[in-house]
Amino acid sequence: MSSKLEQLQALLAPVVESLGYECWGVEFLSQGRHSVLRVYIDQADGVLVEDCEKVSRQIGGVLDVEDPIASEYTLEVSSPGMDRPLFSLEQFAKHVGEQVKIKLRSPFDGRRNFQGLLRGVEEQDVVVLVDDHEYLLPIDLIDKANIIPRFD
Round the average pLDDT of the chain to a whole number and report it.
94
pLDDT the model gives residue 75: 97
Does the pTM of the predicted model rise above 0.95?
Answer: no
Q: Where are the domains of the chain?
A: 3-78, 89-147
- 131 falls in which pLDDT band (50, 70, 90)? very high
- CA–CA separation, 96 vs 112, rounded Å? 21
- Looking at the predicted structure, is the pLDDT value of residue 2 above 70? no
Q: Does domain 3-78 have CATH number 3.90.320.10?
A: no
CB 121 within 8 A of CB 127: yes
Q: Does domain 89-147 have CATH number 3.30.70.260?
A: no
Convert the pLDDT of each residue in 64-91 to its tens digit: 999 998 888 999 999 999 999 999 999 9
Please give the C-alpha separations between residue 57 and each of 50, 51, 141, in angstroms, as whole numbers.
11, 10, 33
- 3 falls in which pLDDT band (50, 70, 90)? confident
